[in-house]
Amino acid sequence: MSMSPPKWPSPDQTPPPKDEEERLRELGYQPVLARRMGGFGNFAISFSVISILSGCMTLYGFGLNTGGPAVMLWGWAGVGLFVLCVGMALAEVTSAYPTSGALYYMADRLGGRKWGWYTGWLNLLGLLGAIAGIDYGAALFTGAFLNLQWGFTPTPGSTMIIFMCILLLHAVLNLFGVSLVSLLNSVSVWWHLGGVALIVGALAVVPSSHQSPEFVFTEFVNGTGWDSPIYVAAIGLLLAQYTFSGYDASAHLSEETSNASVSASRGIVRSIWVSWIAGFALLAGLTFAIQDYAGTQESATGVPPAQILLDALGEGGAKALLLVVIVAQLFCGNAEVAAASRMVFAFSRDNALPGSALWRKVSGRTQTPVNAVWLSVVFACLLAVPSLYSVTAYGAVTAINVIGITPAYAIPIYLKLRAGSRFEPGPWSLGRWSRPIGWIAVVWVAIVTVLFCLPQSNPVTVDSMNYASIALVAVLVLATVWWFVARRSYSTPQAYGSAREQAEIADQIV
């Protein structure tokens, strides 16, 4: 292991831009996507996908029941630190392999075809599940707003209609090209940060009473039915871990980012630490402002944070801030569609999906993978259809997201560690810190993957079951079955440049 000083790129020590198009050819791909995204836009897409105003708000009710304030606040602080290690380790590999395929391409290069195959399927199903989870969550919050504004009573059917409208909006926005996506994500950063400041500020100033610091940082609540406080606290960590996902979006957009070998890596790390700080402030602000704990848990709106806003600010203030949250969630879902569609495009480019020739086509006008965008939103819609019949289906969709995407983060990191000196780092490198941070990341992902699969309430019934383990098995079985069909056609290129490969790339642009 090299003992050279760690190379930590910083804003005032930016290396000169590389010829990223030439680097992409070295990795085996002819550039077909428009490289119109800057470093801030790349950071913004991961920050938008993490979306503390989506994850923290949607899962706040889970946190109230599973450990309560103490686990939410201290869990966020601890989990954020470990996720930062995962992000830094992944950023280092991203710098070496800046492609839209991201995780699966890294795994393929470092471990071989099967490693890449299974990583790709985990990542893909995780990304598609994330679209469903984010946009369905936005539909739930929209229903809560409509309930406050016009007395609208959300039903599974009406929520599904709202959800489908949101998916359609995100598909259309993504068809206009990466420039619009980048612009919306840049706006999203300031909307999120301004929204958190507005919510926390209003909750700090307006209510006449607040919870004590002792309550916020030490109150433990167990509504799970399990007796062990250690078990409940471990499960409660998942609020933070569920939220801290999706930062691989920076890697998936690397073929559309200038100086991607540095900018994509920096985007991953920045999105995590900025979300870490802002998310802690948001959780603390909400928890200090709780007026009635039981009433918040059992809110008629179906959304506990909405009840906190109602109790603390009144109906007018609650509705205004709910709109802030809903718009943030819409930004989040739009960014996730962009990331997922690039994964669909990249995986199809290497012939891994049924109908790959269709999904890898790129619009000659916008240089956007149009068919991949439509496949992403349609599949996400199908994932959420069971929500019409079961209240637990949304949890199952969320499980598909996290149980797919989180293990996929660790695989290229582990393979990089296993490769040792064979791994050639890119311009963004951790230097001598690479191995210790890498092992921390791998161990943490292994721990939380187990936590994702544990039952979260007792007794375990069909309605209360944690479907994450079933989702994981289903993804692995699907990947294994399709491997025997597509293994002869699937491969990442070793080098680009033959006449046949150039003709194939030309056929992808329509």
pLDDT tens per residue across span 235-265: 999 899 989 988 999 999 999 999 999 999 9
Q: Regarding predicted confidence, which is higher, 173 or 149? A: 173
Residue 154: closest CA among 332, 163, 334, 381: 163
Q: Are 17 and 483 in contact, with CB atoms under 8 Å apart?
A: no
The mean pLDDT value of the chain amounts to 88
The pLDDT value recorded for residue 11 is: 41
Across the range 151-169, mean pLDDT stands at 91
- With a pLDDT cut of 70, the percent of the chain lying above it is 91
By DSSP bridging, strand 66-67 and strand 221-222 are: antiparallel
User: Residue 453 — very low, low, confident or very high, per pLDDT cuts 50/70/90?
Assistant: confident
Residue 66, beta-bridge partner list: 222
With 0.85 as the threshold, say if the pTM is over it: yes
Helix axes 434-453, 68-96, angle to 10 degrees: 130
The pLDDT value recorded for residue 196 is: 96
What sign does the CA torsion over 411, 417, 419, 425 have? positive
Across the range 91-110, mean pLDDT stands at 94
User: Residue 36 — very low, low, confident or very high, per pLDDT cuts 50/70/90?
Assistant: confident
Please state, in angstroms and rounded to a whole number, the distance separating the CA atoms of residues 54 and 19: 36
Answer whether residue 9 shows pLDDT above 70: no
| Structural tokens at position 290 | 């709780």
The pLDDT value recorded for residue 149 is: 85
Across the range 20-34, mean pLDDT stands at 88
- Which DSSP symbol is given to 14? P
Residue with tokens 């930590």: 8
The pLDDT value recorded for residue 6 is: 42
Own/partner long-range contacts of 495-499 (Cβ < 8 Å, ≥24 apart): 495/26, 495/28, 496/25, 496/26, 496/27, 496/28, 496/29, 496/30, 497/25
Please state, in angstroms and rounded to a whole number, the distance separating the CA atoms of residues 360 and 351: 9
| Structural tokens at position 42 | 């790349």
Reported as a single tens digit per residue, the pLDDT across 289-307 is: 999 999 999 888 778 998 9
Across the range 461-487, mean pLDDT stands at 84
The pLDDT value recorded for residue 394 is: 66
The pLDDT value recorded for residue 391 is: 66
User: Residue 48 — very low, low, confident or very high, per pLDDT cuts 50/70/90?
Assistant: very high
Within its chain, how far is the Cα of 184 from the centroid?
A: 17
| Structural tokens at position 140 | 């739930």
Q: Which helix (H) or strand (E) holds 66?
A: strand 66-67
Answer whether residue 17 shows pLDDT above 60: no
Say which residues have a Cβ less than 8 Å from residue 115's Cβ, sequence separation at least 6.
107, 108, 411, 415
Q: Regarding predicted confidence, which is higher, 508 or 117? A: 117
User: Residue 18 — very low, low, confident or very high, per pLDDT cuts 50/70/90?
Assistant: low
Q: Which helix (H) or strand (E) holds 222?
A: strand 221-222
DSSP collapsed to 3 states, 401-439: HHHHHHHHHHHHHHHHHHHHHHCCCCCCCCHHHHHHHHH
User: Residue 494 — very low, low, confident or very high, per pLDDT cuts 50/70/90?
Assistant: low
- CB neighbours of residue 77 within 10 Å: 14
Least confident among 83-87, 166-170, 247-251, 465-469: 465-469
The pLDDT value recorded for residue 52 is: 93
Answer whether residue 505 shows pLDDT above 80: no
Reported as a single tens digit per residue, the pLDDT across 386-397 is: 888 776 666 667
Least confident among 135-139, 183-187, 217-221, 382-386: 382-386
User: Residue 333 — very low, low, confident or very high, per pLDDT cuts 50/70/90?
Assistant: very high
Our separate counts of H helices and E strands in the chain read 22, 2
Answer whether residue 8 shows pLDDT above 50: no
Across the range 378-402, mean pLDDT stands at 78
